[in-house]
Structure 1
Amino acid sequence: MWNHLLLIAQGLFFVLGTYQVFLSVFAWKRKREKIEHEPTKSFAVLVAAHNEEKVVGALLENLLKMDYPRELFDVFVICDNCTDGTADIVRGYPGVYACERVNPNERGKGYAIEWMLRKLWKHPRQYDAVVMFDADNLVATDFLKYMNEDLLNGHRVVQGYLDTKNPHDSWVSAANGINYWFCNRLWQLPRYNLGLANFLGGTGMCFETKLLKEMGWGATSLVEDLEFTIRCIQRNIYPKFNFDARVYDEKPITFRASSRQRLRWMQGHFHVARHYMLPTLWQGIKERKWAKIDAALYIFNAYYFLLGFTVTGVLWFDQLLPGDPNFDSIYAVAPAWLSIPIALYMYAQTPLAMLLEKVPWKMYLRLVTFPIFSISWWPITVYAFFTQNNKTWSHTEHTRVLRLDEVQGKQM
């Protein structure tokens, strides 16, 4: 019986893996985004900050040099429960609003955004759209031009390309960078090319103001970006991915910091899966909308990782035991002409994504340690499953002070 159950589970993972392989084929080529409209949309640029005095200044200098009419955007920094000099630094930049929030009972970015939006709707000036960044980010100077273009073309929610500010700092930041290059190219881009919904990434996001007022924010889980994405999809609003609107995010440089960050992500992912996966799947089936079914499958990834890692571990352990294996592998059952090419392609996806993204050649050396980072998702996911009711926000300290020209120069 256990052998049959394992084969069924492997069959499910094989189908889902094959589906992702199928999607990724539509990312081999891409068309560059075009800017055809003059800047007309006004933006409220929100920056989420909690004790970010070391890095927030670099972002503000960056934002104030945006290649977009200065009269069409204002910058608001949410100084959320800060105990350092973040607010003082923000006040040192003319025309930038330091919005201080103190609420020790409701910690986390989702609560901070919800608070800021309530203040924004009462602000004397109203804006066409709201853009959100994190304090450790750097932003390509043409970012708002791309957002203006997408809004004028009828898109209501847009996600920019999440690049890495510091992939050369350590093997951990390099692994995070590789992971993001993979997701941008082989997960986000094919969904955009096929007309499916894209997924918000927590920063580099743009929202039509009218939509935010209609829906409210209402996303206060540990993965507020994914939660808001699904709420949009359920309302037939499909976020769009803009490949050329670049945001550079700082990645943790130590394994411990990265593990804490990923644990928070997975805890939040399980929470969203528990509340939204089945309703979204059922809605997609009833309405015959593949974008919603695809979104439900995406949410299922938390369980996919958990069960997939567990089944793989059981099979590996079974192989190490003396005597004949007790369990069959799906690759021994599926036809070789199908299973072998898919297995090989799945292993080749990561370097393929790096090749398509024209990543500097030195980063390929980091593929040696990337499997360690990948395998570490297993214990993190298992622990997250048993602690998924935890809603305590764990702050990732950011200290890497870089300027935009330094980051872009290293990627040439």
Structure 2
Amino acid sequence: MGNLFIYYVTKVFQSLVYTLTLYYLILSLFGLYRRKENKNYVPSKKFAMIVAAHNEEVVIANLIESLQHQDYPKELYDIFVIADNCTDKTAEIAAKHGAKVFERNNKEKRGKGYALEWMFDKIFKMDKKYDAVAIFDADNLVSPNFIKEMNSKMCDGYKVVQGYLDSKNPGDSWITQSYSVSFWSSNRAFQLARANLGLSNQIGGTGFAVDVEVLKTLGWGATCLTEDLEFTCKLVLNGEKVGWAHDAVVFDEKPLTLKDSWNQRKRWMQGFSDVASRFFVKLIKKAVKDRNFVAFDCALYVAQPFMTLLLAISLCITTLQSFQNASESFHFGFIQVFGMFQFLLTPFLLIQDKKFTKKFFAILVLYSTNVIIMPLVINAFGEKQYLIIAGMYLLFNVACILLTLVTMGKDSAWAFFRYLLYSIYTLTWVPITVQGILNRNNKEWSHTKHVRQIGIYDV
């Protein structure tokens, strides 16, 4: 009786997780295409371009330079830099390069969310009035058409618009490439997909614009570790949707090391968990009461940390079951085919934005056949021949890397090798998520130090 109960509980649990996974899989497929847009490039909105900076003397000048070279009338936008608790030359360098600098010193209320709230209050009280504020991190670089694209979307009626988050340094390390792949695929599979379906997009922390009147009405008030997510929830609860500007590109600097990446992502998960605890139920209530699918989709998004853990547990159970039922060829074959599909979906999406070439994708297709080849190797040599099986697997990987080197060159071979490590990056989300959930009440803000200068013409 007890075993039967466990069996049914496991089946219900797995069915729930599979349903959620299927939802996101179907959602991602809507990112395979772009709807034709009728863009309005007549300049009309006035923008306050706001940069929150803490000890960013190395990178602040390049960001300001990219903002000054916008394909938009100079009289319709101004650049503001918040020198937040800085102890270096950030304020001096920003002023020298033409930004309007506001220095803030508050050791109690530290962090980007507090800095922005402080700056918004000043913007509201200025004699010169702005239609919208655009938010950037100090390490960003901004494409010349950014404001033009934001203006077009806001003229279409969107009060909040998120731009495409790209990477400044995808080739620096396996971590930066993993970050880049993650952001590129999210832009296409989730942000563009949601835009195609008429859902609300998610604010990504930087590279977004907000209508000033909406900001005044709702209030920023987002001072947690993921203030962007908190504000997104407030917008959806108040009937607004975040628009998506796929051609308004912001280049962000990704952490170089696993340690820095771990700390940053742990902070994100702390913020996610905090926001989920405060907004998930509210969003579900709105979804049910108003039959609002936008709110339901947003609720699933904020529950991401908990969904990550559920998925990890479900994968462990499924893996154990697949080994136990390996003799059931249909079940095992389905897992193999589905594994290939999932592995190839991300690079196929990235081809659409020219992040991967078709040649590179062809090699990944060849590599994905290992999910068929390796079971055959195991059957041929027997499960106990661990060294032979490991050697064959290593040989297969080396052969694919060498093929990439011969056909596409050294840079592509490195990119292929690093892409294989992307699975490790993905798996690290599980312990990071656990830490984030356990420490969700810790609001201590940590600063990511930037040490490289990359200009807009370098990306």
TM-score with structure 2 length normalisation? 0.82
Q: How many aligned residue pairs are there?
A: 398
- Kindly indicate whether residue 63 of structure 2 is the aligned counterpart of residue 62 of structure 1: no
Q: Counterpart of 2:67 in structure 1: which amino acid? A: L
Give the 5 Å matches for 1:332-411: 342-361=338-357, 362=412, 363-407=415-459
The answer on 1:205 being equivalent to 2:204 is: no
Q: CA deviation at 1:340?
A: 6.7
Structure 1 residue 150 corresponds to structure 2 residue 150: no
Percent of aligned positions with the same letter in both sequences?
40
Q: Distance in 1 between matches of 2:105 and 2:136?
A: 20
Superposed displacement of residue 347, structure 1 = 2.9
Conserved 8 A contact 2:174-2:419 = no
Q: Do 1:44 and 1:129's aligned partners in 2 also have CA atoms closer than 8 Å?
A: yes
How big is each residue's C-alpha offset from its partner over 1:1-47, in whole Å with a ceiling of 9 and x where there is no partner? 33433322221110011111111221111135553341111100000
2:89 maps to 1:85: yes
The root-mean-square deviation of aligned C-alpha atoms, in Å, is 2.3
Residue 108 of structure 1: how far off its partner (Å):
1.2
What is the CA deviation profile of residues 151-196 of structure 1, one whole-angstrom value per residue up to 9, with x for unaligned ones? 1111100000000111011110000000001100001111100100
Residues 43 and 72 in structure 1, CA contact (< 8 A), matched pair in contact too = yes
TM-score by length of 1: 0.91
Instruction: Please list the CA deviations of residues 214-267 of structure 1 after superposition, one character each: whole Å capped at 9, or x if unmatched.
Output: 111011111111110010001110000111110000000111000000000001
Q: Which has the higher helix share?
A: 2
Q: Distance in 1 between matches of 2:241 and 2:294?
A: 8
Identify the residue that residue 185 of structure 2 maps to in structure 1.
Answer: 182
Which of 234, 241, 245 pairs up with 2:244?
Answer: 241
Return the letter of the residue paired with 1:386.
L
Following superposition, the deviation at residue 344 of structure 1 comes to: 4.1
Aligned positions of 1:194-343 closer than 5 A: 194-313=197-316, 316=319, 342-343=338-339
**Structure 2: which amino acid aligns with 1:141?**
P
Cα offset for 1:315?
5.5
Letter in 1 for 2:86: C
The secondary structure found in structure 2 opposite 1:206 is: strand
Give CA deviations for 1:113-171 in whole Å, capped at 9, x if unaligned. 11110111112211011001110000010110011111111110000000011101111
The counterpart of 1:140, out of the listed 133, 138, 143, is 143
Q: Indicate the SS of the match to 1:276.
A: helix
Q: Distance in 2 between matches of 1:315 and 1:18?
A: 15
Structure 2 alignment gaps of length 5 or more: 358-411
Q: Relative to structure 2, which stretch is displaced further, 348-357 or 148-157?
A: 348-357
- Distance 1:32-1:401 versus aligned 2 partners, 3 A rule: farther
| Counterpart in the other structure of 1:29 | 33
Q: Which has the larger radius of gyration?
A: 2
Larger RCO (alpha carbons 8 Å, 6+ apart): 1
- Contact 2:195–2:243 (CA under 8 A) maintained in structure 1: yes
Verify: 1:45 aligned to 2:49, yes or no: yes
User: In the aligned structure 2, how far is the partner of 1:12 from the partner of 1:64?
Assistant: 50
Alignment counterpart, residue 18 of structure 2, candidates 5, 14, 20: 14
- How many angstroms apart in 2 are the aligned matches of 1:33 and 1:58? 31
Question: Alignment partner for residue 76 of structure 2, among 72, 93, 110?
Answer: 72
Q: Is the 8 A contact 2:270 2:439 kept in 1?
A: yes
Using the alignment, how far apart are the partners of 2:106 and 2:238 within structure 1? 31
Note closer, same or farther for the CA distance 1:238–1:227 as it changes in structure 2 (3 Å cut): same
Residue identity matched to 2:190: W
Q: Once the 2 structures are TM-superposed, how far is the Cα of residue 343 of structure 1 from its aligned partner?
A: 4.8
- The answer to whether the Cα contact below 8 Å between 1:161 and 1:243 also exists between their aligned partners in 2 is yes
Whole-Å separation in 2 of the counterparts to 1:64 and 1:246: 15
Counterpart of 2:218 in structure 1: which amino acid?
Answer: M
Partners of 1:351 and 1:184 lie apart in 2 by 13
Whole-Å separation in 1 of the counterparts to 2:298 and 2:332? 30
Aligned to 1:117: 120
Task: Name the SS of the counterpart of 2:166 in structure 1.
Answer: strand
CA contact (8 A) 1:33 1:244 kept: no
Residue identity in the other structure for 1:381: T
1:410 corresponding residue in structure 2: none
* Aligned partner letter, 2:78: D
Give the whole-Å Cα distance in 1 for the aligned partners of 2:199 and 2:416.
31
Letter in 1 for 2:341: Y
**1:107 positional shift:** 1.1
